[in-house]
Amino acid sequence: MFTTTLSPTASHSPALDLFEAIEALKQELNAVILAHYYQEPDIQDVADYIGDSLGLSQRAADTDADVIVFAGVHFMAETAKILNPNKLVLLPDLAAGCSLADTCPPAEFAAFKAAHPDHLVVSYINCSAAIKAMSDIICTSSNAVKIVQQIPADQPIIFAPDRNLGRYVMAQTGRDLVLWQGSCMVHETFSEKKLVQLQMEYPHAEVVAHPECEESVLRHAHFIGSTTALLNYVQNSHRTQFIVVTEPGIIHQMEKQVPHKLFIPAPPLANCACNECPHMRLNTLEKLYQAMAHRQPEIILPEDIRAAALAPIQRMLAMSR
Ligand code: 13P
Ligand code: SF4
């Protein structure tokens, strides 16, 4: 059925063969490969589109491909499936979850919501479909401020699940949000002390940071934004050195876009690689190939949850235009 040069069970050391095989499968399946910036460089290089969570959702909403191969984490692929119930959505490794999404279990969130009956629920897209189904509007790191600003000033709001993004939105909008106390283990690993030491080493470098970082780190940032916003910023800034305070996967695109500039990954507190997202990094080029060759693992959702989660995502897409 599949006319690739590789057997799906063979071990694939030459990356070039995998690139060719994936290209062939893309044509054969009429597939589109959507990848997040935190994916390994090989995956980014084989993708049809690389973006932040908002860009990836917009692409997933617009695609006319039959198969969406989602190189990202589970909640991202799930969002693509919510938008495309009749398409096959593949995730190279089904275990690629999200520590932040895991901090918001549906039963506990339902009780939290019930305790705040007059509140509108704005949920960061980094949550499960079950949480989306309980939300009024979804947002991403690139549109959270814009979305909250569109909600009438006297409307109380629950913001879930990321307390750091929530606090950032509060500071930007002057709104008082009721925050769910979730966080991302990757973005909370950055150390203010080590960041300040790095700034002393590179006094001309600008600090660019993702809003999932803690306030103590964000206060040293010259620019705060989503992964796409960070990429645009380093391209347009006249500066040539940047300390990048987010998952270092984004540096691959930064170096491709502006190769003459220097990008220094911000260090984690401990001597570890814990600034790399262990969930994102579960996907590999080999697993992506296998997923396309076998048309699995696929994202499957109960229809009632999918249908309930669709409206808040559509509201986000409409409010982001
Ligand atoms: P973006 O909205 O920048 O893609 O962020 C997604 C994410 O998971 C950050 O940890
Ligand atoms: Fe989730 Fe954090 Fe990984 Fe982003 S970096 S996918 S928020 S665990």
Q: Give residue-wise pLDDT tens across range 180-233.
A: 999 999 999 999 999 999 999 999 999 999 999 999 999 999 999 999 999 999
What ligand 1 atom has the least distance to the C-alpha of 230? 3
**Residue having the nearest C-alpha atom to atom 3 of ligand 2:** 277
Is residue 102 scored above 80 in pLDDT? yes
Q: Residue 125: nearest ligand to its CA? A: 1
Specify the pTM: 0.94
Residues 96-115 have a mean pLDDT of 98
Ligand 1 contact, 275 CB (< 6 A): no
CATH architecture under which domain 192-265 falls: 3-Layer(aba) Sandwich (3.40)
* Domain(s) of CATH 3.40.50.10800: residues in the chain: 18-97+279-302, 100-184+309-319, 192-265
- Helix, strand, coil shares, percent, the chain, to 5: 45, 15, 40
Contact 40/56 with Cβ under 8 angstroms? no
Residues 6+ apart with CB under 8 A from 53: 36, 76, 79, 125, 126, 140, 141, 142, 226
| C-alpha 12 – ligand 1 centre gap (Å) | 30
Cis (ω within 30 of 0) for the bond into 161? yes
Q: What fold is seen in the domain 100-184+309-319?
A: Rossmann fold (3.40.50)
Asked if the 18-97+279-302 domain carries CATH number 3.40.50.10800, the reply is yes
Question: Which amino acid type is present at position 77?
Answer: A
Cα 319 to Cα 168, 179, 234, 240, 296: the distances in Å are 19, 21, 27, 34, 33
Is residue 13 scored above 90 in pLDDT? no
Q: Give residue-wise pLDDT tens across range 109-166.
A: 999 999 999 999 999 999 999 999 999 999 999 999 999 999 999 999 999 999 999 9
Rounded to an integer, what distance in angstroms lies between the CA atom of residue 302 and that of residue 106?
A: 15
Distance separating the N- and C-terminal Cα atoms of the chain:
42
